[in-house]
Amino acid sequence: MTDAAPTKSWSESFATFLHPRVIAMLFLGLSAGLPILLIFSSLGLWLREAGLSRSSVTMFSWAALGYSFKFVWAPLIDRLPVPMLTRLMGRRRAWILVSQALIITAICWMALTDPAAGGSSLTVMALAAVLLGFSSATQDIVIDAYRIESAAEELQAMLSATYIAGYRIGMLIAGAGAIYLAETFGSNAEIYNYDAWRQSYLWMAAAMLIGVAATLLIPEPEQGRSDRHEHDTAHYLRFIALFALAVGGFIAVFVFSGDAVSAARASLADIFGNKALAGFIVELVRLAIGIAVAGALAFAGVCGGLADRAMVVDSYVDPVRDFFQRYGMGLAWLLLALIGLYRISDIVLGVISNVFYQDIGFTKSEIAATVKTFGLFMTIAGGFIGGILAARYGVMRILFAGALLTVLTNLLFILLAETGRNIPLLYLVISADNLTAGLASAAFVAFLSSLTNVSFTAVQYAIFSSLMTLFPKIIGGYSGTIVDSMGYSVFFLIAAALGVPVLLLIVIANRRLKIAEGD
């Protein structure tokens, strides 16, 4: 994974795009990219038109925290067979199909819920969004494992590029498509029409059938993890019971700590004079307590014989142990820090981007045409450029270039915030931002893939991708509050500054990796 020499010639780099596995990832990427904007930006516009505040809208992004905790149930997906389907389709394809069915169910549930209806409607919408986040994250677990297991390492950069291209097409369908349909059916910032959004989301559920068709057509990967221990149904059920116990403890912390959290938030707000900072600290502590309680319950369950100890160790401990043994303690922690911070600028800014465009005067049609449609082609172009350059010059160099360009392009949003509604400037900002996002993402996905051991593909990659989004999404949930208190220009400056430490981490990690590999 070092950058000492080009890995392919230019002609070889371009030719790999025609590999059948590479083409297949385009359609799986579409299936993975479609659900996420139905939780983030499209849902944000829906809730904003329904009369919710910016703070409430951005807090809905926490419904996607399932992406950041998918490593918790990745071992279940990696181990448990799907009755009948696993034997018929194979382990990976069966779980992809199940997750797609859950995604369609969640989108339909959201479509049938009016967040402006009052009563418990907003809670129902939140539950549907959580289900969508959970099922979409589950689909990601399996598709990531499928991608890594379906081809050799030299194809991973190209697989990443086509995956990102498909992912962005899915985001176009759920972003520009959902927005355009909602406006066409009669909902806008001035006149809210629930039926328009209902029809829009039902069409999004129908679009997921593209992913279902792809799952039915692709072959099961030949390589992958072979279980060292065979278990009967009772062992699997006890394993699920242990998982349910731990998750129940985690949820209980959030359910029963409401009053204490409110009091602590108010006290800290008085001390710091900043409600956003107080809320962040309190929620971070509550998250840490929830994780600690879940871990303690899981440990007690194993000690009490609820689940087979060897099965738990093989599922949760061995993948982590393998990573630290391969890279050593110091380098492993450095790589984890890099993974956790690499996308922080991009994700924090992205949570509120659509609300920003609307706040400075752009219509939904302009957002759909410029940000979503034109931006899609820029991202796809950036992904292909990133894949080719990573194959030619090495992943780490393109990883650094992507991080640097992300910082610089985020600063352009300050110019847009100060200028206001300006179509040519919007095209310039979107061109720079999306080209950079595509390039950086292609290199980053290839980088993460190279860190995994094929014996623990699903679990290790789930840990990496969960860590990649956890901290940024926690901060992103407060982006609306930060904008309300400081304004858009200061917010974009903060988002850009968050990416500066990443540059240093990449330089250090690259040097340490070269030393570890004997260069």
At 447-476, the pLDDT tens digits run: 888 888 877 887 888 888 878 877 777 777
Q: How would you class 424 by CB atoms within 10 Å of its CB: exposed for 0-12, middle for 13-18, buried for 19 or more?
A: exposed
Helices (H), 176-327: 178-184, 194-207, 209-217, 233-256, 258-272, 275-303, 309-312, 318-327
Nearest to 446 by CA among 25, 102, 20, 69: 25
**Residue 485 pLDDT > 80, yes or no?**
no
Query: For residues 45 and 179, is the Cβ–Cβ distance under 8 A?
Result: yes
d(CA 59, CA 57): 5
Distance CA 415, CA 426 (A): 10
Rounded alpha-carbon distances, angstroms, from residue 422 to 299, 350, 410, 434: 57, 19, 17, 18
The answer to whether 443 and 395 have CB atoms below 8 angstroms apart is yes
Q: Which pLDDT score is estimated for 519?
A: 46
Amino acid residing at 503: L
Point out the least confidently predicted range of 222-231, 232-241, 329-338, 505-514.
222-231
CA distance 388 to 161: 8
Helix count and strand count (H, E) for the chain = 27, 0
Instruction: Give the pLDDT of residue 265.
Output: 78
Amino acid at 254: F
**Res. 127: pLDDT tops 80:** yes
Residue 1, pLDDT score: 42
How far is Cα 472 from Cα 414, in angstroms, rounded to an integer? 20
Question: What's residue 401's pLDDT?
Answer: 92
Overall size of the chain counted in residues: 519
pLDDT band, very low/low/confident/very high, at 229 (cuts 50, 70, 90)? very low
Are 334 and 509 in contact by the 8 Å Cβ rule? The answer is yes
CA atoms within 13 A on the CB side of 148: 25
What pLDDT, in 10s, does the model give residues 271-325?
767 676 677 788 778 878 988 998 899 889 888 888 778 878 887 888 889 999 9
Average per-residue pLDDT for the chain = 82
pLDDT computed for residue 12 by the predictor? 57
User: Is pLDDT above 50 for 133?
Assistant: yes
The pLDDT assigned to 380 comes to 85
- The pLDDT of residue 106 is 95
pLDDT at 518 over 70: no
How many angstroms from the chain centroid is the CA of residue 495?
18
DSSP code string of 383-425? HHHHHHHHHHH-HHHHHHHHHHHHHHHHHHHHHHHHH-S-HHH
> Which of the pair, 517 or 104, is modelled with greater confidence?
104
Which DSSP letter does residue 81 get? P
Q: Which residues contact 482 (CB under 8 A, 6 or more apart)?
A: 276, 490, 491, 494
Backbone torsion region of residue 273, taken as left when φ is above 0, otherwise alpha when ψ lies between -120 and 50, otherwise beta: left
Fold assignment, 10-221+232-516: Growth Hormone; Chain: A; (1.20.1250)
Domain ranges of the chain: 10-221+232-516
| Angstrom distances, CA of residue 172 to CA of 49, 105, 165 | 20, 20, 11
Helix (H, G, I), strand (E, B) or coil at 204: helix
Mean of pLDDT values over 416-444: 89
pLDDT of residue 35: 92
Highest mean pLDDT (candidates 35-39, 196-200, 382-386): 196-200
- Give residue 94's pLDDT: 93
Kindly state the tokens that stand for 393.
């010059």
Is the pLDDT at 36 greater than 80? The verdict is yes
Average pLDDT over residues 247-267: 81
Most confident among 7-16, 112-121, 135-144 (mean pLDDT): 135-144
Q: Note the pLDDT of residue 202.
A: 96
Query: Is the predicted pLDDT of residue 58 greater than 90, yes or no?
Result: no
Closest CA to 245 of 289, 288, 293: 293
CA angle 157, 342, 61 (to 5 degrees): 105
- The H or E element containing residue 177 is none
CA distance to 48, 179, 220, per residue, from 42 (Å): 10, 6, 33
17 band by pLDDT with thresholds 50, 70 and 90: low
Residue 262 main-chain phi, psi, to 5 deg = -60, -45
CB 128 within 8 A of CB 110: yes
Burial 117-128 (b: 16+ CB within 10 A, else e): eeeeebebbbbb
* CA-based max dimension of the chain: 65
In the predicted model, what is the mean pLDDT of residues 219-245? 69
Q: How confident is the model over 340-376, as pLDDT tens digits?
A: 899 888 888 877 787 888 888 888 778 877 876 788 7
Inform me whether the pLDDT recorded for 4 exceeds 50. Answer: no
Please tell me the distance from the alpha carbon of residue 261 to that of residue 144, in angstroms, as a whole number: 36
If you search the block for the tokens 């371009």, which residue do you land on? 14
Give me the pLDDT at residue 5, please: 44
Residues contacting 310, CB < 8 A, separation 6+: 229
Q: Return d(Cα 483, Cα 485) in angstroms, integer.
A: 5
